[in-house]
Amino acid sequence: MALEDRSDRIRHHGPKLVWQQVADDIEADITSGHLAPGAKLPNEREMAEAQYRVARVTVRRAVKELAERSLLVVVHGRGTFVAEKLNRQAEQDDE
């Protein structure tokens, strides 16, 4: 399965850190419903190499941030999933 190339969404020399841009892009997919609760994300390597064309550690940091905000759930050995019950307070704080 080919992943959508999203490297054009990342500005390496912009004012925002690259991991924040990746996190923002994933969060936008979650809040828009493009990624439904329970949906499995591609693995870090796939997102880094095929989707965003960034270092793997960059994707790892973005995923960690979204997991800390209860938008993603990381299950060791199984993958990363959109949280079943999104943290609605975090969404309201962003508005």
Taking alpha carbons only, the member of 52, 89, 34, 39 closest to residue 61 is 52
Taking alpha carbons only, the member of 14, 42, 15, 12 closest to residue 26 is 42
Topology classification of domain 7-94: Arc Repressor Mutant, subunit A (1.10.10)
**What share of the chain has pLDDT > 70, as a percent?**
87
Tokens at 63, concatenated: 């995923």
Helix (H, G, I), strand (E, B) or coil at 71: coil
Whether the Cβ atoms of residue 27 and residue 70 lie closer than 8 Å to each other = no
Cα 54 to Cα 22, 50, 66, 75, distances in angstroms:
9, 9, 17, 23
| Model confidence, pTM | 0.85
Whether residue 26 is predicted with pLDDT greater than 70 in this model: the reply is yes
Q: Would you state the pLDDT for residue 89?
A: 45
